[in-house]
Amino acid sequence: MENKYDSTQPTAVSSIDPTYGVIDQTFILNGNFPGAISDIKVYFGKKRAVLTATNGQCITGLVPKEPNGYNQISVVIGKDSIAPNGLLFRYHQSKSMKTICGKLGPDNKWMNDADYAGTPIDAVSLGETHYVQTVAGVKSDNVFLIEAGWGNKLFLLSIDDGTITKLSTPAALCHPAVPTSRDKFYATTFWNGNRTIYAFKKENSWTFNTTGITITSADYPGDKVCSMTFAEDDNLLYCVDSQGRIAEINLSDKSYKIYTTADQKPSGLAAANFGGLIIPAAATAKTPLAKQSPKSFDTWEGSYITYSKYHHCFFLSFAAEHAIYKYVKNSDNTWTCSLYAGGNGPGVSVGDRLVDAQFNSPHGLVVNADGEIFVVSKGSNFWTKGGDARIQKISGDAVEIAAGNSNGTLTNGTTPIEATFQYPRDIAIDVDGNYFIAGGQEGTVRKLSIE
């Protein structure tokens, strides 16, 4: 390709064509550009585009996934960064909801284990679906589905080839934690008792193995453990029990520490396994001291934990408080907790995350690369279709509805806002930013795409 760069003129960006569009659409950036394609970076807001060619006068590439609306175009060439005032691209997000496994309808029940083999994931019937998590696949991520309430089921959903595989489990499991490599996951038992930490690895065909770590019930007597997560260090694994106690598990030296508020400290907790206290943050203009830490607990599936690499902290949901809390581990091994969103009684109201927002029995939650927190509001009634069952999004200081409405008929709708849920439980995100929802009582796994 002939290079048309004019070395007598400054590096410049003059226009983009088209000025609006969708993900993976081809764009042409016009201007005067030195260097090879490998020397150039183009950003739409904070999102870097995949570039395909340059001839010095124009750059071609593919529009990246980005926030809806107008995004600033900027170009980085070597040490030079150019962001012309007014050079904006109007991005149009498309949103969809579809069922990828199970059937929306009144007759959901588990099939015989042997019947799942060879049956496409969109043709199987599922019972109550509790937890989902994603790991790396070949092209698309694979999804793990867990039923833990009254059974003991674990399935691998292969999105690439549309198959479902029943796997062996040692017990009813919680929502798993996935490390940075994304080729394995860790989980512990949902029910109370001694909690062994199990590892499931792709290299072992997802056969479970014990890590050699067991948290004793004397140290950690909580009714249930619903979820686990990693933070910044893949050697440290975290879970929360129904009473808000956090266990930090060291996979390297096979030890653990328990962190708890003073009033929830177990009487049998060994001194060597006590990590430190969880302390409520000071009162603020919006949040009195009494609301900075959870006081009410649900002994069923009442608390979930996730880590945000965007915020560098943990977020926990507490169903009985109808609230989301922020947890920070301090250098002195204490933790600080504070109300982050909700705490205004049950409901699904939107608005300011502290002043207006309501959640209804929040359960699973996940944070995307942009720091947006997606929360499953389970709703208040096991049998109700619609009601207050929603997927809610916390973005900055605002809470909005990402999916769901009060319609009494189970449906995916033509848009996510028109979808109807029945007692959903959990949510996970894949490498492409798609969300997978464990539908709970409706017996499905659904995919929410925002791109």
Number of domains within the chain: 2
Q: Domain for residue 433, yes or no?
A: yes
Is 3 inside any structural domain?
no
CA distance 213 to 198: 8
Give the model confidence (pLDDT) of 32-89 as tens digits: 999 999 999 999 999 999 999 999 999 999 999 998 999 999 999 988 899 999 999 9
Q: Based on the fold, state whether residues 235 and 276 are members of the same structural domain.
A: yes
Domain boundary among 72, 91, 110: 91
Of 32, 56, 91, the residue that ends a domain is 91
Whether the per-residue pLDDT at 424 is higher than 80: the answer is yes
Pair (294, 180) in one structural domain:
yes
The pTM score is 0.93
Q: Which of 91, 119, 144 is the last residue of a domain?
A: 91
- If asked whether residues 82 and 104 sit together in one domain, one would say no
Q: Are residues 107 and 28 in the same domain?
A: no
Q: Are residues 269 and 371 in the same domain?
A: yes
The residues near 420 (Cβ < 8 Å, ≥ 6 apart) are 385, 386, 389, 404, 405, 406, 407, 408, 409, 410, 411, 413
The answer to whether residue 209 is domain-embedded is yes
**Whether residue 139 is found in the same domain as residue 40:** no
Query: What CATH number does the domain containing 69 carry?
Result: 2.60.40.10
Q: Rounded to 5 degrees, what are φ and ψ at 306?
A: -145, 160
**The CATH number of the domain where 346 resides is what?**
2.120.10.30
Q: Structural domain of residue 402, as residue ranges? A: 95-450
Whether 132 and 26 map to the same domain: the answer is: no
> Do 87 and 136 belong together in one domain?
no
Whether residue 366 contacts residue 357, with contact meaning beta carbons closer than 8 Å, is answered with no
433 and 355 in a common domain: yes
pLDDT tens, residue by residue, 327-352: 999 999 999 999 999 999 999 999 99
H/E run at residue 187: strand 184-187
